[in-house]
Amino acid sequence: MRNDVYQKITDQIVSSLEKGVRPWHQPWIAANGEGRIVRPLRGNGVAYQGINVLMLWSAAIEKGYASPVWMTFKQAQELKAHVRKGEQGSLVVYADKITRTETDAASGEENERTIPFMKGYTVFNVAQIEGLPEHYYDKAETPTNSLNRIPHAEAYFDPLRDKIVQGGSRACYIPSTDKIHMPCIDFFDDAVSYYATLAHEATHWTKAPTRLNRDFDRKKFGDGGYAMEELVAELGAAFLSADLALTPELRDDHAAYIASWIKVLKDDKRAIFHAASHAQRAVDFLHNLPTAAR
């Protein structure tokens, strides 16, 4: 079961990438009832994290669901609602572990061994469920983007101001100086794209040895470790953009990574799980830093 879950999810992500679709980054202004990209939500409003974000975004894109809210068959029943007959659910997973007591053949001593595993279960989008309270179906007003700076995004990234070098024509994080380089906001098509790009580079910033110490054994530009780090930054930017209520356009310069991401995922069926986990860790790190040090 464990291996099937890893392989099934990896195959799903690879299939999307081979079609040129990045399931973590879609322009859902027209398709999402919230009028913007948001993380998938449980019925109680709590956001999914890590690999489950990608899985449910991908399912929503494939099946055209407008709502970001998902729940189990039982949760729908508890709300006096029901899943429509014939509807197919979507897979989500959670990590768990079991402890086994094993006897050493040589010494006869008993030792406990913890074994991690991945377990899956099925959820349904509210679009597949009838009889829910009306607020589950309500649609929020669609916000409009402005070319002006976005106050809440500006406030979020403001504590990083000492780490950001404004100017030039290239967005990047330079480890040797521990600086994020960003073109001026006027160089972008819209303010949302500026903050999404900054989120991407801020995710890279978290990889430093004094922060999350993320390496992937990178040896040279363009190798598997490099592709993995770019995938983490791409996912981190998508997660953070959702948390900041931003819906950026796809960056053309990241399209070139799709082939390398496909190779990484095909070589290791757990790679997307690791990338999503590292991206979630990076976003949590940015969320949880004290204001003065973020």
- Where are the alpha helices (H) located in 112-223, listed in sequence order? 151-157, 191-205
Q: Which of 64, 65, 83 is nearest to 123 (CA)?
A: 83
**Percent of all residues in the chain with a pLDDT value above 90, rounded to a whole number:** 41
Query: What distance in Å separates the CA atoms of residue 108 and residue 244, rounded to the nearest whole number?
Result: 56
Confidence at residue 292, expressed as pLDDT on a 0 to 100 scale: 44
The CA–CA distances, whole Å, from 171 to 68, 70, 192 equal 31, 36, 15
Q: Count other C-beta atoms under 10 Å from residue 199's C-beta.
A: 26
The whole-angstrom separation of Cα 48 and Cα 290 is 24
Residue corresponding to tokens 């521990």: 178
Of all residues in the chain, the percent with pLDDT exceeding 70 is 84
For the chain, the straight-line distance linking the first and the last C-alpha, in angstroms and rounded, comes to 40
Half-sphere exposure of 75 (CA within 13 A, CB side): 14
Determine the pLDDT at residue 178. 93
pLDDT at 291: 63
For 202, residues 6+ apart whose C-beta sits below 8 A from its C-beta are 157, 160, 180, 236, 240, 286
Q: Is 23 exposed, middle or buried (0-12, 13-18, 19+ CB in 10 A)?
A: buried
The pLDDT tens digits of the residues spanning 181-237 come to 998 888 787 889 899 999 999 999 999 999 999 998 866 555 778 889 999 999 999
Average pLDDT, the chain: 82
Q: Is the pLDDT of residue 29 over 60?
A: no
The whole-angstrom separation of Cα 76 and Cα 47 is 17
pLDDT at 293 over 60: no
Of the listed ranges 30-34, 58-62, 159-163, 266-270, the least confidently predicted one is 30-34
- Strand partners for 69: 41
Q: Can you say whether the dihedral through the CA atoms of 213, 215, 217, 218 is positive or negative?
A: negative
Residue 36: closest CA among 157, 123, 158, 152: 152
Tens of pLDDT, residue by residue over 237-269, are: 999 999 999 887 666 656 667 888 888 999 999
Strands 69-71 and 41-42, by their bridges, are: parallel
The most distant pair of C-alpha atoms in the chain lies apart, rounded to whole Å, by 71
CA distance 162 to 53: 31
Predicted confidence band of residue 146 (pLDDT cuts 50, 70, 90): very low
Q: What is the mean pLDDT of residues 66-85?
A: 92
> What does the DSSP 8-state code read for residue 19?
T
Letter for the amino acid at 33? Answer: G
